[in-house]
Amino acid sequence: MAMAGVIAKAGGEVLLGKQVRSIVENDDRVTVATEDESWSARKLVVCGGLQSDRLARLAGLKIEHQIVPFRGEYFRLPEIKNDIVKHLIYPIPDPELPFLGIHLTRMIDGGVTVGPNAVLGFAREDYRKFSTDLRDILEYGRFPGFWKSIAGNLRSGLVEMKNSLCKQGYLKQCQKYCPSLVLKDLQPCEAGIRAQAVMRDGTLVHDFLFVESPRMLHVCNAPSPAATSAIPIGAMIAERLLKKS
């Protein structure tokens, strides 16, 4: 909400509940249309997150990747354990994967979260643990890069699923660098869904992935620390797009 206020003060507008129906790029304008309204601009930045690949195709761009959702599950430590860490604690990440691993994060309210893991999701926009969306599953299931990625990361994927279903397995990952934690310390917390770009050859994209046209820039993959660095990243993207003739 704070960022919405900043946008409003700068003369912008935040519109919620609007489904994009078309994106049309002409020689001098880009027009975005919903069911009942349309907007035109000289330049367009699309940060579609979990829908970024669909929006890129809607805009007529040819892309070589597919967004695959990965569910990141968190726990929160009880208040009595808030002083267990003073800073962020991360495991040594697997260089073959774009995920940072389960880590402990001291929040600005003084609480401590544990997570996230990285479990293959079966719905892009549903945050419940066992939610499914047939369209989402069929879409990435038809993409050859998805199956190549599964084949190349089968062991780690199965471990993530096991630890998601078995809280004891999740705990063991945490105890590698915080051995004093016990099972009852892992209290329920919200989950997130990562929009992971996967290439046709099965590669999980580790870095930022931009797809561009003369008047558009689509952010198709935004890894950590995309949220915490959102403002300088946004400035870089704006500068990159404005430099286009």
- Look at domain 20-64+206-242 and name its CATH class: alpha beta
Burial profile 22-44: b = 16 or more Cβ within 10 angstroms, e = fewer: ebebeeeebebeeeeeeeeeeeb
- The string of pLDDT tens digits covering residues 46-61 is 999 999 999 999 999 9
CB distance 193 to 69 below 8 Å: yes
Residues comprising the chain, all counted: 245
69-199 to CATH, choices 3.30.519, 3.30.70, 1.10.3470, 3.30.9: 3.30.9
- The string of pLDDT tens digits covering residues 108-128 is 899 999 999 999 999 999 899
- The string of pLDDT tens digits covering residues 162-183 is 999 999 999 999 999 899 999 9
The stretch 86-91 carries a mean pLDDT of 90
- Domain extents in the chain: 20-64+206-242, 69-199
Burial profile 221-241: b = 16 or more Cβ within 10 angstroms, e = fewer: bbbeeeeeeeeebeeebeeeb
pLDDT at 50: 97
pLDDT at 245: 66
Q: What is the pTM of this model?
A: 0.92
